[in-house]
Structure 1
């Protein structure tokens, strides 16, 4: 039961300005900090600076703390009342609602703007999904980033029940018969723009390690099973994974070969009777690998590169890799030692692994682009809020031309990436899997290269705007922070932003791929 709050005038609060009787006002709320002052992380002296004792400390508070601090139970207990005739004016996010900060949301999804892509179905979908992410996913993300454990299975189960795991695979037959977000949308109505919203809303908790650990392995490891697996294998694996019962990861990269998939050394040899593969080799940097039950593995065979589904068994060993972001991602080094796998587990034709892998890369890279574009938007929102409340030289930070110039560049990059992403998504919407593999590899590679470079520019400018707070693990700049330790409590945009420049293909390699695709399509008779 919540305590009853009393009503006070400002004059009444002003009387409580002594060390043994100390009240303050924050956003029309009255707090008794008499006992708390000795525990205050910033020291006792803060309450006696700038005549805060017994006075309105709203400006001072928001110059040092995020609004979420006041929502913590230990601080809510300090509130004893409210100001007579005054209401809270500080804007704070409500679960499921869009942000009111300019450029904090894709323009086409806001009610004030129009879009050739988004319909009312997409906007309703976003609203329901955001509420689920805010209420179910974000609390678990905060807890798991703190303890470094994998995302809670209970949350994964709830995602499965809402059809979120299935929708991560995009539109298709795998959605048939499933209830999506409580029935807000029918399976046959789900399209690429619903999926784009799904990818971007899932990024909003802003905890990169957790996001990758939250079944990202399935997003990149399951499509080859869906599109190239034999029906009996496909139906069993897909059902288990999308129901949250089993976990799968994509095992392509090796210490010997990352973007160079033709250089993979993991081998698969057929047994004399031709009924099984014997797999030997290693894989590295495999997202979700530490807790996966299945692995979609790229192997060298006598007929060339082949993709094979491997179930966890004797001979399969996974070890956690310590990376510069959270261990919740389950990043693994995998060893395959004489692992016996039925030939029926072959995905696509023997020797046809290049097409299987490259067609899968398109969706993987697109998903990364969705997350990257949303991360940039989140940072733009953080910066706009900060320059609006932070004062320097007696004026709001946004009064400085150099700050406005940085914001202009950040917003321009943010909007450019989103609109290019939506254009590519529209092409995906009107192409089948094979057409996407043939026609979108180049544009997708260039888009990912552009987004990852824009992210790094925005990360650098955000740190400059936040100053020292931009490299501090907690507080105002925690979403910007350049992390210096191995287990942070939240996101580290400035450090983890470089991950996207590597995952799914290194930035420079993708840029070269996009240009080579363009040169290949050049008309032979094109001259100046």
Structure 2
């Protein structure tokens, strides 16, 4: 839908867009939502399914989004205001960059996923969401001066490269090496990175490498040039969903990278990588929840008109039961995501990492489970149409293929479930220790 008119189909919109009161959404947020929806529809979503079929989003789309500062919302809030103003960037569709908060981020990510497909939007966002933030947060002034002007304005593209063929969620065991040259002026990088979103189009990647011994203490982060760089070979991977996301295999054979491209300090790679994971998992959660909404509401609309056994599918109790179960999961998930977004607006980065890190990991895992429930529900209710890559059920079929792309990237589901509880236990133990000390006073 290009406009902001109310979609009457149940489960099609979050409560604040159905005219219900919200403790989180201000008039300013609503103004942005309207402008955001129009921009994204005009420049991406109206062609999203067509481009997903073709396998690639045209390059001019990235340029258009960059020109209007509409990739900056993928970065963690608050935005790097000083850098943006220095580059002549003062607002995003009327929202001053200094006023940007995580509620705006949530609105943007929700609108970006409105097609129901993660590939088209994913073809644009990975650099700003995951590649640039480590440079902003940990890069030296000299490193920032060399890279941020072109990256923040979209003149150059970037991505994040952590995952390897044998090390995905197990970040501490990556094996790509970066060894200093004899003259100490370069790192010589050897290894491979796999399943790298946007890699094929990226000029640079923020890459996790091993500069020291085994384990997390041996990891560092480098900005590695990709396009036309001697020793770098890239090829696109065929994946089941997110077709347009540019999933890439990168091979590195004696690639020379200046030592000045080191992000932060040598050996601090694990901390740098982990710092942005909360943001990555949260924006995934928002987009995935919108995908679930699209799948379920499209099935709901279909059930209202499709007839079987002399009545509509909606007149069948078993169908209503299936929709109700999925709908309850969906609306519960959205309420939780909104709650986390609001909390991030009112906590320091240090406090939010401590209090919300485990919960954000859990929310990301749960959002993918909810997507799986809603997508399977939709495909089953569409019947044969949901099994076909054309026609009425085409979108539901495509969303179901996207499900593994929600359950695996950003931390695989089982890893995040375990991580979330371990983090909560840590908080418990710290609080218990504090209480015990207080009782001795």
Common fold: TM-score over 0.5:
yes
Structure 1 position 95, deviation (Å):
3.1
Structure 1 residue 517: Cα displacement: 0.9
Q: CA offsets per residue over residues 362-390 of structure 1, 9 Å max, x none?
A: 11111110111111111121122111111
Structure 2: distance between partners of 1:153 and 1:360: 27
How far, CA to CA, are the matches of 2:316 and 2:251 in structure 1? 55
Cα-Cα RMSD: 2.0
Cα distance, 1:519–1:196 mapped onto 2, change above 3 Å = same
8 Å Cα contact 2:6/2:17 also seen in 1? no
1:94/1:315 CA distance change after superposition, 3 Å: closer
Distance 2:286 2:2 in 1: 23
Corresponding residue for residue 439 of structure 2: none
Shift in Å at residue 208 of structure 1? Answer: 2.5
Contact 2:169 2:415 in 1 (8 A): yes
CA distance in 2, matches of 1:94, 1:252: 37
Q: Does 1:300 align with 2:210?
A: yes
C-alpha distance in structure 2 between counterparts of 1:372 and 1:175, whole Å: 29
Contact preservation (8 Å) 2:161, 2:205: yes
Distance 1:501 1:168, change over 3 A: same
Indicate the residue corresponding to 1:77 in structure 2: none
Instruction: Report the TM-score, using the length of structure 2 for normalisation.
Output: 0.91
Partner secondary structure for residue 480 of structure 1: helix
Identify if the C-alpha distance between structure 1 residues 138 and 516 changes in structure 2 by more than 3 Å, giving closer, same or farther: same
Structure 1 CA distance for aligned equivalents of residues 359 and 377 of structure 2 = 27
What are the superposed Cα offsets for residues 316-350 of structure 1, whole Å, 9 maximum, x if unpaired? 11111111135421111111111121222111221
Alpha-carbon separation, structure 1, partners of 2:198 and 2:6: 31
Task: Give 1:122's aligned residue.
Answer: 29
Q: Distance in 2 between matches of 1:290 and 1:160?
A: 18
**Which consecutive unaligned segments of at least 5 residues does structure 1 have?**
1-92, 482-491
* Match of residue 340 from structure 2: 424
Displacement of 1:495 after TM fit?
Answer: 1.8
Equivalent residues in 2 for 1:78-227, closer than 5 Å: 93-111=1-19, 113-149=20-56, 151-170=57-76, 171-172=78-79, 173=81, 174-176=83-85, 177-182=88-93, 184-227=94-137
Unaligned runs of 5+ in 2: 437-441
Structure-2 change in CA distance of 1:121 and 1:104 (3 Å): same
Give the 3 Å change call, closer, same or farther, for CA 117–387 of structure 1 in structure 2: same
Runs of 4+ in 1 over 6 A off after TM superposition: none
Separation in structure 2 between the aligned mates of residue 298 and residue 133 of structure 1, nearest angstrom: 32
Say if 2:237 and 2:248, in contact at 8 Å, map to a contact too.
yes
**Per-residue deviation, 1:220:** 1.3
Partner of 2:223: 309
2:368 to 449, 452, 469: 452
Which residue number in structure 2 is paired with residue 278 of structure 1? 188
Report which of the two has the higher share of helix. 2
- CA deviations on 1:409-438 (whole Å, 9 max, x unpaired) are 111111111111111112222234444333
In 1, distance between residues paired with 2:218 and 2:336? 36
Distance 1:340 1:262 in 2: 23
Equivalent residues of 2:44, 2:120 under 8 A apart: no
Q: Aligned to 1:121, what secondary structure does the other structure show?
A: helix
Instruction: Pick from 248, 266, 285 the counterpart of residue 350 of structure 1.
Output: 266
1:66-97 CA-to-partner distances (Å, cap 9, x unmatched) read xxxxxxxxxxxxxxxxxxxxxxxxxxx45344
How many residue pairs end up in the alignment?
422
Aligned counterparts of 1:257 and 1:197: Cα–Cα separation in 2: 33
Report if aligned partners of 2:72, 2:128 keep a CA contact under 8 Å in 1. no
Distance 2:351 2:414 in 1: 24
Q: How far apart are the structure 1 equivalents of 2:343 and 2:260?
A: 33
Partner residue, 1:513: 419
Indicate the structure whose relative CO is greater, using CA pairs within 8 Å and at least 6 residues apart.
Answer: 2
C-alpha distance 156-402 of structure 1, shift in aligned 2 (>3 A): same
| Counterpart for residue 28 of structure 1 | none
TM-score of the pair, normalised by structure 1: 0.76
User: Cα distance 1:187–1:214, how it changes in 2: closer, same or farther (>3 A)?
Assistant: same
